[in-house]
Structure 1
Amino acid sequence: MSRLLTLVAVLALAGCSTTAPTVSPEAPGGAASGEKAEKPKPKDGDPKPYDEVITEDAVTERGLFDVHRIGDKLFFEIPDSLMSREMLAVSRIAQTPADLSPFINAGSKTAEQVLKWERNGNRVLLRKASYTSVASDTLAIAQSVRVNNFEPVVMAFDVAALSPDSAGVVLDVTSLYTDDVPAITGLPTSLRTQYKVRRLDPKRSFIDEARAFPLNVNVRHTMTFDAAEPPSNAGTGTISMQMYQSMILLPAEPMTPRLADERVGWFTVSQIDFGSNAQKADQKTYIRRWRLEPTDPEAYARGELVEPVKPIVYTLDPGTPERWRPYFCMGVEDWNRAFEAAGFKNAIRCEMPPAPGDSTQFDPEDVRFSTVRYVASETRNATGPSVSDPRSGEIIESDIIWYHNHIRSYRNRLMIETGAANPQARSLEIDEELIGETMRQVIAHEIGHALGLPHNMIASSSFPVDSLRSPAFTSEFGVAPTIMDYTRQNYIAQPGDGVTRFVRMVGLYDDYAINWGYRWYPGITSPEAETARLDALIAEKEGDPMYRFSTGSGGYNPDAQTEDMGNDPVAASGYAVANLKRVVPNLIEWTSTPGEGYDDLGEIYGELQGMYARYMGHVVTVLGGVRVTPKSTDQAGVVYEPVPRAEQERALDFLAQNVFETPEWLLDREILRRIEASGAVDRMRGIQMRTLDGVLDAERLHRLVEREAIDGGEAWPLAEYMDAVREDIWSELARQRPAISTQRRHLQRGYVETLEALMTEDERRGTDLSQSDIRAAARAELKTIRTQARRARGADAATRAHLDDIADRIDDLLENDG
């Protein structure tokens, strides 16, 4: 109205004038006087108006940034404030085709990388950032690090529209999830080659779901590939899989990292620090851990237990059966004892899932929530994955996964490993309290992984074998000083020992490791500033075997093995075999269900044989073994200590008695005639040959050769070792008229074939044999066996034919070898 009145006044003044005003033919915008100026037409590539892109039929979720679904299209609306902010992109397989890979299943992570959005005019680049090489921005070398680690562009997008307030951009990101983008694909090159994948089919690849939360955005999408030889459903020529992509905002200020030490076990992240003063490209390795800071630093400094500013919280999946929820929560909160060692109380807690209809905004896909997920699956496993900030090692979130059928694993193991001494384990329906306790400890083990702890396979060897037969000791300490070892059930306790606790528990090593990794030190601004205090914590425990750490040592350290128990593999395996001999005659009774067949019997009997073979493998590792104790240069003593000869000889004698002499007790007629028409002899041959292959493993023999060269008379010379093995395998030839059983004949033929490989192959399982004494030793043993076989006179036709065949085989081998 005011503009109209002004115009009227101007016209009135003009009417009183004697001269007409000059009128420009066009206004500055190009429109004639009195005409409304037209908006300039957008150029090709310019953003469109917001409401032309995000139309009324858009389905929108608000969060870290808004996501819009319009038909098959997906749009991200990213505010300018998030441009160049680093985000952790995690790619997982949500659903996988059958038989894709024994190492890949639903939930497997295929990529974890830092991405960031960068605006370049009317385009936005999605770049991959790397922290493999770093240097402080205050140093001159930082410029060199940048130009020599140029960040790749994963994808580029045109700005489709500006946000209504012009403080952000709208991008059509559909192609990021429907094209075959290498950075986030679920199908690696090796599998593409194996299954002869030709291409991703865009018509059968699509976005399933997009979700937005305050700190993350998640997208599920289906990828369908044309494949000439797919792993399953061959007639379709297709591999389809569903991927789950999560983009998580990283903290603006990274947590101060903590330097790793190989003497204490932690998952880690590594960087090459070019800004270090070291006279080399200095690799810095940081532990992965949650950010825990005390609410009351003064009280913490006085040694009082203090709650953390932000505790670690796990919420149970609503699909978790109610009967198991208390055990799962106990498994989570069992770690509070370890955090108390680090000065924190109530540092970790478990919350029940929201009740149906509860308005709580819990969503397992929201990165603010860590969860224990119960998966209805036949998979027999549990996992404890987590995602962490590669800049600092800070753990952002984790999801513990329990697969339903893992109950079956522990039901079977309890019967096999503890049934002899534990009456509660002698049934297919194990008491709920006992099976619940085993589930609790599995959850605790996986929580340990999610807190940053890897497997510690050396811990169990710190307990004396006889202590594991003590009711008082096992009630207080369980079966190992850490729950992170693969020591599940007490297979050493014998009937009559009175042991009542057969399963693992959080232990003293766990308290120590959590204290080392999570203890808070005030005023720390660099990792190097706290190393002296951390070293002091290690020094306090030096020499105590309960505080050692090792994930395992390449199959040569008898102290660090999977599934072992106690400090003496020979004694432990002896007790284990004694218990298995008690269990086998009872399996039919313990596994029988009226009206049902013998499937459970066959399954458990097969698993029992596998455990027997594992126990024998523990003893094999003693042969040519080397014990490993990680040390820093300021600690006395050596790191690698060969196993004494006497221990090795004892181990070989044990194998001769328990494996090479056929374990007839394992060939139970009553069981075999109920579960199969045939197969027992082949399985026994397989167990015996796997053990013998271990005894004659080329790397093991190489260690014997090397030790003889370095240690001289302390070593077990290769020639004498080979003689001892031969005498065990061919012990019948010491008799006048030997009678050799079926199983032993199979073993002896396998022995000759193994020696042939050692004599003729230039490389065997990664060990160079071309110039080795091993080849000569194998040839000498073959000649000795040939002589003995020719001289012997078998007591029966089968033995005579066998010995003649062995001698002729060796003749052919030696002749053809030239």
Structure 2
Amino acid sequence: MYQHFIRLSLMALLFVLAVHPASAQDEEKTPEKAEQEKGKKKGGFKDYADLITKDAITDDGLFKVHQVDEKYYYEIPFSLLDQDMLLVSRISKIAPGLGGGYVNAGSKTNEQLIRWKRMNNNIHLKAVSYNSVANDSLPIYISVQDNNYQPIIMAFKIEGFNPDSSAALIEVSDLFLTDVTAISGLSDRLRKAYKVKSLDKKRSFISRMSSYPENVEVRHDMTFSASEPPANSRTGTISLEMSQSMYLLPEQPMQARLFDKRVGWFTMRQIDYGSEALKADQKTYIRRWKLVPKDPAAYARGELVEPVKPIIYYLDPATPKKWRPYFKQGIEDWQVAFEAAGFKNAIIAREAPTDDPDWSPEDARYSTVRYVASTTRNAVGPSVSDPRSGEIIESDIIWYHNHLRSYRNRYLLETGAANPSARTLNTPEAEIGEMMRRVISHEVGHALGLPHNMKASYAYPTDSLRSASFTQKWGLAATIMDYTRYNYVAQPEDKGVRWVRMLGPYDNYAINWGYRYIPGADSPEAEKTTLNQWISDKAGDPMYLFGSGNPYDPSSQTECVGDDPILASTYGLKNLKIVAPNLARWTTTDGEGYEDLEELYGELLGVWSRFSSHVVANIGGVYERFKTTDEEGVTYQHLDKAEQEEALDFLLENVFTTPEWLLQPEIISNISASGSIDRIRSLQTRQINNLLREDRLKRMVENEALNRTKAYTMTTMMKDLRAGLWSEVAKKEPIDAFRRNLQRSHVARLEKLMKDDQAERSDISAVVRAELKAIQRLAKNAAGQYKEGIVQYHLQDIDAMVETILHPLPVGTK
């Protein structure tokens, strides 16, 4: 009976299906809905073939990347989840004027350690920090992890898996097409400056995505709406092309080397909570390439040994052929320094292969020197380093084409008086090549881990730079990492001297200190005794001092040469006084305009100003010598009174008097209708403001408090300055337009000092008030002694200016 019922039911069902071949639900299904459901698997994942279609553009490397129409996918192997990677964000193409000249194409905007991490059916991109660390065997490790929870940059839904289920597919388009702060090219400062509103997704796009064995590269355009863009204001738009470089870091970090500030290195910092110190111990490590000897036994015997993996730089194919030999020399000049560290052939220059279609300068396995067609006058030596250990992974030196012009101009201005071959706009090719070689060496030095060392020029006696034998052997400074570009000290009678910088003894010393392999030292702490001994061996020798450059130390000034800034600037000005009257003849060409002359004249004024700044640094100056507690002497020492007095005498004679030698009629009458007075005023005002900096005056006050009779006091300096700047008034001599401007600038600077010091009411206020009163008396008493005219009016105006400063009208008074 039951079986009979079943047969009847099946017959009825078949009858219904015959009449209605599709269910009501099937009738409502659209073609689009059917396509969406096609390929769906358990868990909502799609089939690989439906995601990565036959039309996909795929690139395989660290992991596969895919472009399917306007969608971009990462195919991330599960083996790479939770692996440390480094994400470096750079601006690859920049809007004109963005950053006011301090940001260029190639500028790094962020560098962060990241990990890809699976969370259920999502992949998270997380930012990781090694700023706080502890050994994972210690109990405090748990607390370090809990108090340094990793932020999520972006979460991605897993769309599907590759055929063998060893990798997850995620669509990453939104990472590059939305305004993700972690990889943006615009900082908060720039957003505020240009009143950026938002990223316009419709005008943003991914232009390229490539995968290499050790890194993934993405190029994407970001277009922002802005009320006040730096250029093309009517568009209300800022567009950038961003470069995102993601590097796989070594599974086992290189052993780090502890930093010592007595030797200059780029660094990275960690706070070690597992340290035995009774505090959270901040440790600083240097940034360097990993060099390990192929033959440790031979290395230990003191033989030169090749490294397992040398540092290799490839020349950009865009580099003009005539400059390539100089670029190669600039790179391989560092081989001598590495030999001091026990390595031979440690750094090698090669031309990029033109017959290998797979070779790319963006491949992290290759470091390059790129030649960029740009009007930027600069060269840079950035590098990418592992934040866990300081190991430099890769580096791209960038040479901007117009940097040649900067060096030609400086060569003419600073050496032309004594160097006949510099007296032209067409500098001989070999000499330009030599300059380029040394610039490349300087930038490679940065990429090796070395910062600027501005104290290196102070290692050499100033008069020794006039000696051919000395300069040809030792160069112009103890390191190529100083900004000692040219020998502006040598005089016309000095023959055979070296004009251009080169590597020096400090370079060998620093590379040995940072790169020498120390057998048996299996931790950073185990190396410390040896490293300290190497520094102690050179203690007291100025060739091995380090100073990064600061405004208060006259022995650590940028662009300076020699150990006596006053003498060096005296020689430099003597040369400029030869260059100035010849500048028009050396820089003009028949049939051409005066644009080159105008450019060179502007730079000539800049050189004069720079020489002046070097001398200003002596006043209120403090020598800085980094020391450890076991060394003799002090770290900070004020300059002698006599040195400071000599510096002010130089300024009064050479800077604050009217520089008639700069006012060359042949130049002035051909470059502009007016402006000479304003140019000189600007330069002299800059030095007045520099001399009367608040921090400088405070150092003088402190020096007087500590050293009393040995100090050059702020009061004395102010009186000496007033006597010099207002000497015509005391002598009832004519005061020219340049001098009148300088006197107004003097009063204006005193006014600013008084206003800035109102809250503190320090000794600065007291001395400034007394100075203003003295100037007012001087001007008031002298005004009637001059005949009616501009000088009398000027002195009357000074009287009124000071009166307003000392007795301002109440707020709201008209």
- TM-score normalized with structure 2 length: 0.93
Cα distance in 2 for residues equivalent to 1:484 and 1:706: 33
* 1:133-190 Cα distance to aligned partner (Å, 9 max, x none): 0001111111100011000111111111111111111111111111111111111222
1:91 to 65, 89, 92: 89
- Taking every aligned residue pair, what percent have the same amino acid on both sides? 56
Secondary structure of 2:317's partner? Answer: coil
* Compared CA separation, residues 117 and 811, structure 1 to 2 (3 A): closer
1:637 aligns with 2:627: no
Aligned to 2:668: 672
Shift of residue 572 of structure 1? 0.3
Shift of 1:486: 0.6
The answer to whether the aligner puts 1:807 opposite 2:799 as a matched pair is yes
Which of the residues 625, 640, 650 maps onto 1:654? 650
What residue in structure 2 maps to residue 35 of structure 1?
none
Task: Work out whether residues 313 and 370 of structure 1, in 8 Å CA contact, stay in contact via their aligned partners in 2.
Answer: yes
Equivalent residues of 1:46, 1:122 under 8 A apart: no
Match in the other structure for 2:15: none
2:58 corresponding residue in structure 1: 60
Helix, strand or coil at the partner of 1:561? coil
Aligned-pair distance for 1:360? 6.3
Residues 726-737 of structure 1: matches in 2 within 5 Å? 726-735=722-731, 737=732
1:142 and 1:709 map into 2 onto residues whose CA distance is 49
User: Given the alignment, which residue of 361, 364, 367 partners 1:367?
Assistant: 364
**Residues 743-782 of structure 1: matches in 2 within 5 Å?**
743-762=738-757, 770-782=760-772
Q: Answer whether contact 2:219 2:244 (CA < 8 A) is retained.
A: yes
Are the counterparts in 2 of residues 46 and 159 from structure 1 also a CA contact under 8 Å?
no
Letter of the 1:779 counterpart? R
Which amino acid in 2 is paired with 1:521? I
Match of 2:136 in 1: 137
Kindly state the Cα deviation for residue 771 of structure 1 after the two structures are TM-superposed: 2.1
Q: Which residue of 1 aligns with 2:469?
A: 472
1-structure distance, mates of 2:780, 2:227: 55
Structure 2 distance, partners of 1:713, 1:781, is 22
C-alpha displacement of 1:796: 6.8
Deviations 1:746-765 (A, max 9, x none): 111111121222223336xx
Corresponding position: 1:112 with 2:111 = yes
Residue 596 of structure 2 corresponds to 600
Cα deviation digits, residues 638-677 of structure 1 (max 9, x gap): 0000000100000000000001111100111111111111
Distance across 2 between alignment mates of 1:41 and 1:171 = 16
1:474 touches 1:499 (CA, 8 Å); kept in 2?
no
Number of the residue aligned with 1:614? 610
- In 2, Cα distance between equivalents of 1:499 and 1:802: 51
Structure 1 residues 774 and 44: CA distance shift in structure 2, 3 A: farther
> 1:443 — aligned with what?
440
By how many angstroms is 1:47 displaced?
Answer: 1.8
What is the aligned partner in structure 1 of residue 535 from structure 2? 538
Rounded Cα–Cα distance in structure 1 between residues aligned with 2:600 and 2:229: 33
Q: Is the 8 A contact 2:293 2:299 kept in 1?
A: yes
The CA deviation at 1:40 is 13
Q: Give the whole-Å Cα distance in 1 for the aligned partners of 2:372 and 2:435.
A: 18
Corresponding residue to 1:432 among 400, 423, 429:
429
Instruction: Map 1:83-482; keep pairs closer than 5 Å.
Output: 83-102=81-100, 103-355=102-354, 358-359=355-356, 361-482=358-479
Residues 619 and 655 in structure 1, CA contact (< 8 A), matched pair in contact too: yes
**Higher mean displacement: 323-332 or 193-202:** 193-202
The amino acid that maps onto 1:738 is E
Secondary structure at the aligned position of 2:252 is classed as coil
The alpha-carbon deviation at position 702 of structure 1 amounts to 1.1
- Please give the secondary structure, in 1, of the residue aligned with 2:198: strand
User: How far did 1:359 drift?
Assistant: 2.7
Report the alpha carbon displacement of residue 41 of structure 1 after superposing the two structures with TM: 9.1
SS of residue matched to 1:652:
helix
For 2:203 and 2:597, how far apart are their aligned partners in 1? 45
**For residue 113 of structure 2, what is the amino acid of its counterpart?**
V
Separation in 1 of the partners of 2:574 and 2:43? 79
Structure 2 CA distance for partners of 1:234 and 1:808, relative to 1, 3 Å: closer
Structure 1's 817 and 752: CA in aligned 2 closer, same or farther, altered over 3 A?
farther
CA distance in structure 2 between the partners assigned to 1:238 and 1:783 by the alignment? 53
Q: Does 1:742 align with 2:734?
A: no
Q: Distance in 2 between matches of 1:790 and 1:228?
A: 50
Q: 1:542-588: per-residue Cα shift (whole Å, max 9, x none)? A: 000110001112x1100001100110110000000000000111111
Aligned length: 773
Q: Structure 1 pair 318/193, CA: closer, same or farther in 2 (3 Å)?
A: same
> CA, structure 1 residues 472+250, in 2 after alignment: closer, same or farther (shift >3 Å)?
same
| RMSD, matched Cα | 1.7
- 1:729–1:170 distance in 2 versus 1, CA, 3 Å: same
Deviation at 1:362, TM superposition (A): 2.2
- Is contact 2:83–2:116 with CA below 8 Å preserved after alignment? yes
Deviations 1:449-486 (A, max 9, x none): 00000000111011100000000111011110100001
**Letter in structure 2 aligned against 1:453:** L
In the alignment, which residue of structure 1 is the partner of 2:21? none
Distance 1:69 1:412 in 2: 48
Is the CA contact (8 Å cut-off) linking 1:371 and 1:399 kept in structure 2? yes
Taking the aligned partners of 1:227 and 1:760, their CA distance within structure 2 comes to 36
| Aligned residue number for residue 568 of structure 1 | 564
Instruction: Tell me the residue number matched to 1:30.
Output: none
2:776 counterpart (746, 766, 786): 786
Amino acid at match of 1:809: M
Change (3 A) 1:817 1:578: farther
1:47 and 1:746 map into 2 onto residues whose CA distance is 77
Checking the alignment, whether the CA contact within 8 Å between 2:331 and 2:349 is kept in structure 1 is yes
- 1:9-36, Cα deviation, whole Å (9 max, x unpaired): xxxxxxxxxxxxxxxx9xxxxxxxxxxx
For 1:811 and 1:593, how far apart are their aligned partners in 2? 53
Query: Distance between the aligned counterparts of 1:472 and 1:158, measured in 2?
Result: 70
The one-letter code of the counterpart of 2:661 is W
State how far apart, in whole Å, the 2-side matches of 1:717 and 1:493 are: 34
CA distance in 2, matches of 1:649, 1:40: 88
2:19 alignment counterpart: none
Residues of 2 paired with 1:749 and 1:159: CA distance? 70
The range that moved more, 360-369 or 616-625, is 360-369
- Name stretches of at least 5 consecutive residues in structure 2 with no aligned partner: 1-8, 10-36
Bigger mean CA offset, 390-399 vs 192-201: 192-201
Structure 1 letter corresponding to 2:717: Y
Would the aligned equivalents of 1:259 and 1:286 in 2 still touch at CA under 8 Å?
Answer: yes
3-state SS of paired residue (2:148): coil
Distance 2:267 2:727 in 1: 51
Distance 1:453 1:810 in 2: 50
2:64 equivalent to 1:77: no
Contact kept in structure 2, 1:738 and 1:799, CA below 8 Å: no
Distance 1:521 1:484 in 2: 25
- Cα distance in 1 between the residues matched to 2:88 and 2:771: 55
1:587 and 2:586 correspond: no
Partners of 1:567 and 1:690 in 2: CA distance: 24
Write the letter of the residue equivalent to 1:797: G
Cα deviation for residue 95 of structure 1 reads 0.9
Contact 1:258 1:286 in 2 (8 A): yes
Q: Distance in 1 between matches of 2:767 and 2:114?
A: 57
- 706, 710, 714: which one aligns with 1:718: 714
Q: Distance in 1 between matches of 2:75 and 2:281?
A: 41
